[in-house]
Amino acid sequence: MSSCTRVALVTGANKGIGFAVTRELCRRFPGDVVLTARDEVRGRTAVQQLQAEGLSPRFHQLDIDDLQSIRALRDFLRREYGGLNVLVNNAGIAFKMDDPTPFDIQAELTLKTNFFATRNVCTELLPIMKPHGRVVNISSLQGSKALEDCSEALQERFRCDTLTEGDLVDLMKKFVEDAKNEVHGREGWPDSAYGVSKLGVTVLSRIMAWQLNEKRKADRILLNACCPGWVKTDMAGDQGSRTLEQGAETPVYLALLPPDATEPHGQLVRDKVVQNW
> What residues are annotated to the active site?
194
24 close to 248: Cβ distance less than 8 angstroms: yes
10 Å CB burial of residue 277 (0-12, 13-18, 19+) is: buried
The one-letter code for the residue type at 173 is K
Which residues on adjacent β-strands are paired with residue 184? none
Cα 136 from chain centroid (whole Å): 6
DSSP secondary structure string for all residues of 26-44:
HHH-SSEEEEEESSHHHHH
Sheet holding 32-37, edge to edge: 58-61, 32-37, 7-10, 84-89, 129-138, 222-227, 268-270, 273-274
**SS3 for 182?**
coil
Which residues on adjacent β-strands are paired with residue 84? 129
